[in-house]
Amino acid sequence: MANVDVTLGAVQKAKKSCVDAAKELNAAAKNLAEKYAAAGNGWKDSKYRELGDIVKTCNDAMKSPMAQLQECHQTLAELESIIIEYQNA
């Protein structure tokens, strides 16, 4: 029979990493959008619009893993629950 060693602490750390990654990505996207908007106070030409397209692409890319991070967090939460239930049995 195979031996599996999954510690509760490792699972909880992984859950926290999912949350932290999502927060960091959201903060970076927000910061980038704010910097772009602030630059527009005196800069409203075709280059500003081109930069806006790039900023949007970057923001979309930073937000794209959110569903996967949420799914990972949920799966880890289920594993955490199973480990706790097993330890309390």
In a domain, 49, yes or no: yes
pLDDT digit string (tens) for 14-52? 999 999 999 999 999 999 999 998 887 777 788 888 999
Nearest 5°: CA angle at 23, between 9 and 67? 85
In a domain, 73, yes or no: yes
Phi, psi at residue 74, to the nearest 5°? -65, -45
For residues 41 and 13, which has the higher predicted lDDT (pLDDT)? 13
In a domain, 3, yes or no: no
Within 13 Å, how many C-alpha atoms sit on residue 18's CB side? 18
Range of the domain at 47: 11-84
In a domain, 59, yes or no: yes
In a domain, 6, yes or no: no
In a domain, 22, yes or no: yes
The rounded distance, in Å, linking the Cα atoms of 6 and 67 is 25
DSSP reduced 3-state for 36: helix
In a domain, 89, yes or no: no
- Is this model's pTM higher than 0.85 or not? no
Residue-averaged pLDDT of the chain: 89
Number of domains in the chain: 1
